Structure 1
C-alpha cells in the first residue's frame, strides 16, 4: 500500500509556491507521485551542477526507502488555514498505547514550508517566528502530527539582532536565486523522510514516557516544598531526557524552571533562592562538570541548602571514558566527600529504589545538597519505581532551663551593653528579634555575609535599635563606636555580643581571634552543635524560634538597665562618617555615590513604601553598599562563605524571575568581568520561555578600573605601590534600550546622581535597569581596611 505524505506551502508569493512545486517535481518517479508538483522539465531556470547532484542523490535514496508514495502539496495563503485543510485530508491517529511512545510515522508526516513575511502576522522576524511556533504547536496538539525543525522551515529575512534556535522550526532567509530555494526544498524533504519518516526510532516526543529519575526526584521535592522548589539546568548529552522531563513536570506544576550561562550560575541561583526564599532545588548538569560549580558548592553546604545535584555520568568499567569522572584514574566521589556532601553513584536500575531512599534520607540531614551521579542505564530508565517510604525524625535540639535562665539574667540584670548579630532569620524569628531587642535595649546589627537580616527599616518603619553592619571589612561607624566608646574597646564585663543563627566566621566581627577568645563575652544560638564557636562563652544549641519563645516570658529587664542600653545606642546611632561623602568629585567617590543613592532610597521608602532585595558582590563596591545603604529586608551577599566574585551577579536572574519584588544589585567591574554575562540567558527566558520580571531590577556596575580590595590591602596595609595586576580595562556600552518580552531593559552611564531620574528608574515596573557608574578608587573610605579606621578623615575635631 502506497504511503501518503503532505507538504504544506504557506504564503501568498506565486514565485515561492512555484519554486517549491518545481523542486518537489524533481523527486517524482513512476511509482512516487507528487500531487500539485510541476513536471521535472519545467523548472524556471537552469540548474547548476550541485543542484543536479542533490536531486539525483535524493531521488536515488527515495527510490530505496519510499518507492511507493503519494505526496500531496497543500497550498494556503495564511498558515492558520493549514489546520482545516489538513483535518480534511489526514486520518486522525489512534490514541497512543499507554505502555510506550508513538513512532513519528504512526501519524501523518507533514512538511511545512512557510513564507513568513505574509503567511503570519508580526512586525519583525522574531515575532513572526513566534507566531509560526504558536500556530503549529496548536496544530500538533489537535491533529497529533509531528512538528520539529526537520518538518518546519520558516523563510523570512535574516534575523541579525539575535541568534536563537527554536525547537519546533528551522529559520532560513529567502534565497535570492530560485535554484537555491529549490535545492533547499528537495534537501529538506529528503532529510525529513530519512530522519523521521523511515527511521523507526523516531518518536513523537510528547508521547515518550517520563524517565523514572525525573518522576522520583520531582515527586519527592513536590512533597517537601510544593511549588517552591525550582529546576536549575544546563544542557548536556547524557541528562538531556532528564532535563526535558523535569522541565515539563515543573512547568505543569508551576515550579520555576531556570537556566544560566554556565553551571556555576545555577549553583549561585540555587543558593540565593534558598537564603532568600527558603526554596529547595533540583540542579541538573552533564558529565565532567563536577568542578564547574566552584566554591559555591561549599557555600551551598554551609548554608544547609536542601536539594539534589544530578550529573550525567558514564557507566562504570570503561577505559578513559569521555568526560567520565569515575574511573581508574579519578573518582569524583572523593571530591564530594572532601566537601562533606552525600554522593550516590546510580549505575544499576535494580538498585535505584533503595539508593533513592538513601538519597532522600540524606536530604533530610540538613548537610547541604545531595549529589547523584547517574549512569546512562539509570537515566534512560522509564516506568514507576517503588521507593521505600523515608521516615526521618527531625532533630530538635533543646538546651536546659538553666541556660535559658542564664541568657535572661544577662538581658534582665546586667548593665552591660548588648549587641545582637543575626543570621538568616525567618519572618517569624525576625518579628521576635525586633520585639525582644526593643524590650531589652539590645543593639541590632547584620553582617557582610548576610546583609539585611535585620535592617534600618522594617515594614516601612525605622528600627531604632539597628546600628548597621558589623564585619572585619566595612564595619559601620555606629557599630564601631558602640564597640569602642571613646575610642577604646569595652572591657569583657561591659558588653555581651549575641550571635543568633551565626557560625561567627572571622568575616563577622572586626576583632582578631585573640580578642574573641580572651576579651569578648559571646552568646551563640545555633541549632547545629558543630557550628558552636570555640570561643563562645554561653553556647545555646537549639533552634532559634523555640528558644526565643521560651526566653520571652522570662524577660523582665530592669528599667534602668534598658535606659542605659538605649542611651548607648543613641550616642552612636547617628555617627558622622567621612566628610568626603559630601564632595561631588567626578569620577565620584564611593562615599559620595552611596550617600546620594541612600538619600534616594530612603525617600522612596518614606514616600512610596519601597522595599527591595539587595545583591552585593565581592569587592569594594559591595562593601560600600552594605555599609552605607538603608535596607528593608534580607539581601544576598557574595561575601558569604568563600567570598566568590561574581556570585551575586550570577544569582540575580534566578530571584528576579521567581519574585515579584524589587532587586537592587551592586557589582564591581572586577566581579562583572570574572563571570559570563547572564543577560543572554535572561533574555532567552523573557523572550522565548515565558519568563517574567514583574518588579524592578536595577543593577549598578561600579567601575573604577581595578581590583580595589587588593589594591587597598597593598597600598594601605603594606604601604607598597600598586602594580598592573590590580588594574582592569573595562569597556562601557553606550546607552541603549530593548524590550524583552514584557520587560524593558535599559543601559545608561552614570557620572553623577540625578535623584529625580534615578527615582523614576527605580520605580519603573517590569524593568531591568543597568547602570554603569564611574567611580574613583580610594583606600581610606568606608572602613575598608583596619588601617583606614585611623584615617584623619574620620577623626572628629576636639
Structure 2
C-alpha cells in the first residue's frame, strides 16, 4: 500500500517554491508520485554533475525502500498559516495515549522546507529561529506529527556570531545558486526517508519507553530529596538515552537540569550545591571518563556528598573495548576503591534490582557519592523495576555527660580567649552558634576551605563576635592578634580552640602541627570518630546540633568571664591593617582593591539588605577575597580538600541557575586559564533551556600575570627570583555587552575602583558581570605566607618611638 508523506514548502518567494518542487519532481518515478505543482524540466540544461549524481543515487535508493508512495506538496506563504493548511490534508491525530512505543511512520511524516527570510517575522536569525521552534512545538502537539532535524530545514542567513544545533530543525543559508537549493531539497527528502521510514528502529520520541535505570534512580532521589536533587550531565553515546529520560523526568518534576563545559565542571557544581544546600545529585557521563572528575571526586567524598555518578561502560568480556575501563588491562573500580568511594558494576539485568538496592544502601552511609558503571544491557532495559525498599539505621553517637560538662566548664569558668571555627553548619546550628558565642564571648572564625559558615553579617546585623578567617594562608589580623597578644602566642592553658564539624586540616590554622600538639588546647566536635585529630585534647563525638542543644542549658558564665573575652576581642579587632591599602597604585595592590570592594559591600549590606554567595578560587586573589571581604553567609571555596584551581569558577553556573540571590566570584588568572570557559554552556542554558538568573552574578577575574603564591614562596623562602614557570600571559577582552534571554551579560576592565559605579553593577537584577581587574603581585600583603606576618608594613610605631 503506498505510503503517505507530505512536503510543506513555506515561502513567499515563487522561485523558492518552484525550485523545491522541481527538485522533488526529479524523484517521481513509477508508483512513487507527487501530488502538486511539479515541473521536472526546470533544470533541463543547468543540472550540474554533482546534482545529477545525487538524483541518480536518490532514485536508486528510493526504488528499493519506497517503490510506492504518494507524496503531497503543501505550499504556504507564511509560517503562521502552516498549521491551518496541514489540518486540511493530514489525517486526524490519534486521540489518547498510545500503548507502547510507536514507529515514526505511525504519525504523519511531514518534510518542512521553510524560507525564513520571507515567511517568518523577526529582526534577526535567532529571533526567526525561535519563532520556528515555537511553531514546531504547536504542530507536534496539535497535529501529532513527528519533528526532528531530518524533517525540518530552515533557510535563512548564516548566523556568524554563534553556532548552535537546534534539536528540532536543521539550519541552512539560502544558496545563491538554484541548483544547490534543489540538490539540498532532494537530499533532505531522501535522508528523511532513510532515517525515519527505512529505519525500523525510528520511534516517535514521546512514545519511546523510559529506561529502567532512569526511572529507578530519579524515583529514589525524588523520594529522598524532592525537588532539591539535580541532574548534571555530559553527553555520550552509551548514556544518551539515560540522560534524555532523566532530563524529561527532572524537568517535569521541577528539578534542575544542569550542564557544563566538561565532566569536571559537573562535579564542581555538584559539590558546591551539596555544600551550600545539601542538594543530592545524579551525574551522568560516558565511558572512559572516570578520570575526568579529577580531585573533585575526593572532595565530594570528604564532603560526604550524597548522589550517584553514572558512567556508561562497555559490555564485560570484550578484548580492548573502545573507551572501556573494565577489562583485562585495567579496572576502573580500583580507581574508586582508592578514593574510598562505593562502586557497583551493573552488568546483569536479572540482578539489577538487587544491585540497585545495595547502591541505595550505600547512598545512606555518608561515604560520598555512589558510582555506577553501567553496561549496555542495563542501559537498554525499559519499564519500571521493583527495587526492595532499603532501610539504613542512622547512627547518632552521643558524647558522655562528662565531655559536655568539660566544655561547659571552659566556657563558664575560664576567662581566656575561646575561638570557635565552624564547618558546614545547618541553619539551626548556625543560629545556636551565634547565640552561644554571644552569651559566652567566644570569638567566631571561618576557614579558607569553608568561608562564610559564620560571617561578619547575619540577617543584616553585624556579628560582634566574628573576627575573620583562621588559616595557614591569609589569617585575618584580628584572629592572629587574639592568639598573639603583645606579639606572643598564648600558652596551652590560656585559650581554647574549638573546631565544630571540622577535620582540622593543616589549612585550618596558622600553626604547624608541632604547635597544635604542644601549645594549643583543642576541642573538636564531630559525629565521625575517624575524623578526630590526633592532637585534639577534648574530643566530642556527637552530631553538632544535638551537642549544642545539650550544651546550651549548662552555659552560664560569670559576667567577668564574658567581659574578659569581649575585651580581648575588642583589642584584637583594633589590629591595624596594611597602609598600602590606601595607596591607589596602578595596577592596584590586592590590599587596595579588596579594601575598596569591602567598603562597597558593607554599604550594600547595610543600605540595601544585600546578601551574596561567594566563590573563591585557589590562588592569591581568592585568599585576599576571603580575608578582606565582609560576608553574609556561606560560600564555596576551591581551597576545600585538594585545593583544585578552577573548581570555584566551574561551580558558579550550577549555583547561579538554581539558587536565588547574588553571587560573587573571585578567580585568579592562573585558575581561569586551567579550565574551559563556562560561558557557552551557561548561555545555552539561558537562551535555549529555560535557565534563569534572577539575581546578580559578578565574577572578578584577578589578573596579575602569574602564579602568585608559588612566586611568593620562591622569593620569600628561597630568595629566588621569579622565572617563566610563574609567569602567565593573559589576553584581556575589550568591554562588551550582550543579552541572553533576558539576562544582561557584560565584560568590563577595572583599572581603578569607582565605588558608585561598582555598587550599581552589583545591584543590577538578572545580570552577569565579568570584571577583569588589573592587580600587582606582592609578596608581603594579606598574610599570604607565614613570613608576611613580620612585614615591615605591619609594624606599629608606638608613641615613645619604639
Structure 2 length-normalised TM: 0.99
Identify the residue that residue 607 of structure 1 maps to in structure 2. Answer: 607
Once the 2 structures are TM-superposed, how far is the Cα of residue 150 of structure 1 from its aligned partner?
Answer: 0.4
Conservation of the 8 A alpha-carbon contact between 2:621 and 2:668: yes
Identify the residue that residue 326 of structure 1 maps to in structure 2. Answer: 326
| CA shift digits 1:613-637 (9 cap, x unpaired) | 0000000000000000000000000
Identify the residue that residue 472 of structure 1 maps to in structure 2. Answer: 472
Identify the residue that residue 147 of structure 2 maps to in structure 1. Answer: 147
Conservation of the 8 A alpha-carbon contact between 2:94 and 2:144: no
Aligned length: 798
* Structure 1 runs not aligned, ≥5 long: none
Identify the residue that residue 775 of structure 2 maps to in structure 1. Answer: 775
Once the 2 structures are TM-superposed, how far is the Cα of residue 92 of structure 1 from its aligned partner?
Answer: 3.1
Identify the residue that residue 669 of structure 1 maps to in structure 2. Answer: 669
After superposing the two structures, state which structure 1 stretch, 52-61 or 536-545, moved more. Answer: 52-61
Change (3 A) 1:44 1:662: farther
| CA shift digits 1:172-205 (9 cap, x unpaired) | 0000011100000001101101110222111111
The yes-or-no answer on 1:643 pairing with 2:635 is no
Once the 2 structures are TM-superposed, how far is the Cα of residue 30 of structure 1 from its aligned partner?
Answer: 3.3
Identify the residue that residue 236 of structure 1 maps to in structure 2. Answer: 236
Structure 1: distance between partners of 2:141 and 2:101: 15
Provide the secondary structure at the position in 1 that maps to 2:291.
Answer: helix
Identify the residue that residue 765 of structure 2 maps to in structure 1. Answer: 765
| CA shift digits 1:503-558 (9 cap, x unpaired) | 00000000000111111100000111111111111101111111101100011101
Once the 2 structures are TM-superposed, how far is the Cα of residue 372 of structure 1 from its aligned partner?
Answer: 0.1
Once the 2 structures are TM-superposed, how far is the Cα of residue 66 of structure 1 from its aligned partner?
Answer: 1.5
Identify the residue that residue 304 of structure 2 maps to in structure 1. Answer: 304
Identify the residue that residue 366 of structure 2 maps to in structure 1. Answer: 366
Once the 2 structures are TM-superposed, how far is the Cα of residue 57 of structure 1 from its aligned partner?
Answer: 1.4
Structure 2: distance between partners of 1:218 and 1:521: 47
| CA shift digits 1:375-411 (9 cap, x unpaired) | 0000110111110110111111111111111111110
Identify the residue that residue 199 of structure 2 maps to in structure 1. Answer: 199
Identify the residue that residue 248 of structure 2 maps to in structure 1. Answer: 248
Structure 1: distance between partners of 2:119 and 2:526: 65
Conservation of the 8 A alpha-carbon contact between 1:24 and 1:37: no
Structure 2: distance between partners of 1:97 and 1:432: 54
Provide the secondary structure at the position in 2 that maps to 1:290.
Answer: coil
Identify the residue that residue 317 of structure 1 maps to in structure 2. Answer: 317
Structure 2: distance between partners of 1:583 and 1:44: 80
Q: Which aligned runs of 4 or more in structure 1 are off by greater than 6 angstroms?
A: none
| CA shift digits 1:54-86 (9 cap, x unpaired) | 112111221222122111111111223212222
Conservation of the 8 A alpha-carbon contact between 1:45 and 1:179: no
Once the 2 structures are TM-superposed, how far is the Cα of residue 11 of structure 1 from its aligned partner?
Answer: 1.5
Structure 2: distance between partners of 1:754 and 1:13: 55
* Structure 2 runs not aligned, ≥5 long: none
Structure 2: distance between partners of 1:77 and 1:41: 24
Provide the secondary structure at the position in 1 that maps to 2:273.
Answer: helix
Identify the residue that residue 405 of structure 2 maps to in structure 1. Answer: 405
The yes-or-no answer on 1:717 pairing with 2:717 is yes
Structure 2: distance between partners of 1:644 and 1:99: 50
Once the 2 structures are TM-superposed, how far is the Cα of residue 206 of structure 1 from its aligned partner?
Answer: 1.3
1:549-698 equivalence runs, <5 A: 549-698=549-698
Identify the residue that residue 7 of structure 1 maps to in structure 2. Answer: 7
Once the 2 structures are TM-superposed, how far is the Cα of residue 99 of structure 1 from its aligned partner?
Answer: 5.3
Conservation of the 8 A alpha-carbon contact between 2:19 and 2:42: no
After superposing the two structures, state which structure 1 stretch, 51-60 or 173-182, moved more. Answer: 51-60
Identify the residue that residue 178 of structure 2 maps to in structure 1. Answer: 178
Provide the secondary structure at the position in 2 that maps to 1:74.
Answer: strand
Provide the secondary structure at the position in 1 that maps to 2:730.
Answer: coil
CA RMSD across the alignment: 1.0
The yes-or-no answer on 1:450 pairing with 2:425 is no
Provide the secondary structure at the position in 2 that maps to 1:577.
Answer: coil
Once the 2 structures are TM-superposed, how far is the Cα of residue 45 of structure 1 from its aligned partner?
Answer: 6.2
Conservation of the 8 A alpha-carbon contact between 1:96 and 1:102: no
Conservation of the 8 A alpha-carbon contact between 1:105 and 1:198: no
Conservation of the 8 A alpha-carbon contact between 2:4 and 2:108: yes
Structure 2: distance between partners of 1:466 and 1:643: 25
Once the 2 structures are TM-superposed, how far is the Cα of residue 98 of structure 1 from its aligned partner?
Answer: 5.6
Once the 2 structures are TM-superposed, how far is the Cα of residue 118 of structure 1 from its aligned partner?
Answer: 2.7
Structure 2: distance between partners of 1:422 and 1:288: 38
1:377-388 equivalence runs, <5 A: 377-388=377-388
Once the 2 structures are TM-superposed, how far is the Cα of residue 746 of structure 1 from its aligned partner?
Answer: 0.1
After superposing the two structures, state which structure 1 stretch, 24-33 or 109-118, moved more. Answer: 24-33
After superposing the two structures, state which structure 1 stretch, 450-459 or 47-56, moved more. Answer: 47-56
Identify the residue that residue 109 of structure 2 maps to in structure 1. Answer: 109
Identify the residue that residue 157 of structure 1 maps to in structure 2. Answer: 157
Identify the residue that residue 213 of structure 2 maps to in structure 1. Answer: 213
Identify the residue that residue 749 of structure 1 maps to in structure 2. Answer: 749
Once the 2 structures are TM-superposed, how far is the Cα of residue 574 of structure 1 from its aligned partner?
Answer: 3.0
